[in-house]
Amino acid sequence: MNCLGHCHPTPVRALQEQSEKIWHLSNVMTNEPALRLAKKLVDSTFAEKVYFANSGAESNEAALKLARRQALEVHGSDKTQIIAFNQGFHGRTFFTVTVGGQAAYSDGFGPKPGDIVHAEYNNLDSVKALISDKTCAIMIEPLQGEGGIVSPTDEFIKGVRELCNQHNALLIFDEVQTGLGRLGSLYAYMDLGVTPDILTSAKGLGGGFPIGAMLTTTDIAKHLKVGTHGSTYGGNPLACAVSEAVIDVVNTPEVLDGVKAKSVLFVDGLQAINTKYNVFKEIRGKGLLIGAVLNDAYQGKAKDFLVAAMSEGVMTLVAGASIVRFAPSLIIPDEDIKEGLARFEKAIAKITS
Ligand SMILES: *Cc1c(COP(=O)(O)O)cnc(C)c1O
């Protein structure tokens, strides 16, 4: 979220300047920050069209509705199946929790949106077993975040693209967590050799300010005509001005190469801690989205590590019950990584003593 930390001067200035121009417009009009941001996203990705929303869930909701509408208009009413993945996370609207792979989030609200099935991440055969010409889209995170910091294998992610091509299904990448430089490239797809048909972005896109976006091609976008879908605040000039400034800072070799270098420092530091305390069975992830998987003696205890770290002044996250997740600012100074790890080590010393 806070991909540039707190109060980075570039987005702060953009917000201040925009706040004295215009805050909001009727959505029969557009505004300059929205047009500039859309152009920036189009110029730096595969996309030709952008739809703005206010969050990750809303961006995914738009992507799923677009995929269903596109399939209906191009292929007819039978093509409605959506394939997603166990442990996937796509937001908290009813459509997106149902597509997400944790029943605990979608149960208990009555009848769910239909024709949504789940395969196993990194298991191409499980996708093959479900896909058919009735599949309208596959929605996937190009690295499962909430689900446990799981990277896709090369064979799997390329295989998923290939299966979509064979069955005329759209490939939707949910890059809400992986986008905006988090993994060391502007978007994760750029490093995978796989281009999606639709991509969603949020979290880092606003650097802590609420905004979301759905990116796609002109050919697909034409199925979401004006009036078919919309949002009052999507494309809000304040949010778009901030986001434009965030992209200007993040989408530079300096910051993106920095993510890769800081990742090495971070992972090496965690390995060194583990050599002393033997608490992790694996350190995984990519760029500055890192998961430390607790070994069997600490199963289900990730929350305890989070709480202990917090009392040493270090903010961590969890990804499931047994993984401690780190997602620091992309421009965190190396000294802060070292200081943070030293404090994290103190927390671990307390837990293990
Ligand atoms: C956080 C997250 C979302 C939901 O984003 P919100 O802005 O909370 O609605 C969707 N997908 C992924 C992969 C996420 O990590």
Selection from 109, 120, 112 nearest residue 86 by Cα:
120
**3 state DSSP class of 144:** strand
**3 state DSSP class of 342:** helix
pLDDT digits (tens, 9 = 90+) for 195-210: 999 999 999 999 999 9
Q: What is the mean pLDDT of residues 167-188?
A: 98
- Write out the two tokens for 174: 């949910």
- Average pLDDT over all residues of the chain: 97
Mutate to test the pocket of ligand 1, among 150, 176, 209, 231 (most ligand atoms within 8 A of CB): 176
Tell me, yes or no, if the pTM score tops 0.75. Answer: yes
pLDDT at 27: 82
Question: Contact 55/201 with Cβ under 8 angstroms?
Answer: no
Question: Contact 24/236 with Cβ under 8 angstroms?
Answer: yes
In the sheet with 323-326, reading across from the earlier edge strand, the strands are: 280-286, 289-294, 323-326, 317-318
Say which range, 26-35, 120-129, 176-185, has the weakest mean pLDDT.
Answer: 26-35
Q: How many percent of the chain have pLDDT more than 70? A: 100
Confidence of residue 266 (pLDDT cuts 50, 70, 90): very high
Residue 54 DSSP label: S
Confidence of residue 1 (pLDDT cuts 50, 70, 90): confident
Q: How far is the CA of 57 from the centre of ligand 1 (A)?
A: 6
Q: Which domains does the chain have, with CATH numbers?
A: 9-250 (3.40.640.10), 253-352 (3.90.1150.10)
pLDDT digits (tens, 9 = 90+) for 131-162: 999 999 999 999 999 999 999 999 999 999 99
C-alpha span between 34 and 18 (Å, rounded): 12
pLDDT digits (tens, 9 = 90+) for 306-327: 999 999 999 999 999 999 999 9
Q: What is the mean pLDDT of residues 92-108?
A: 97
**Ligand 1 atom 11, closest CA:** 90
Question: Could you give the residue numbers annotated as active site?
Answer: 89, 174, 203
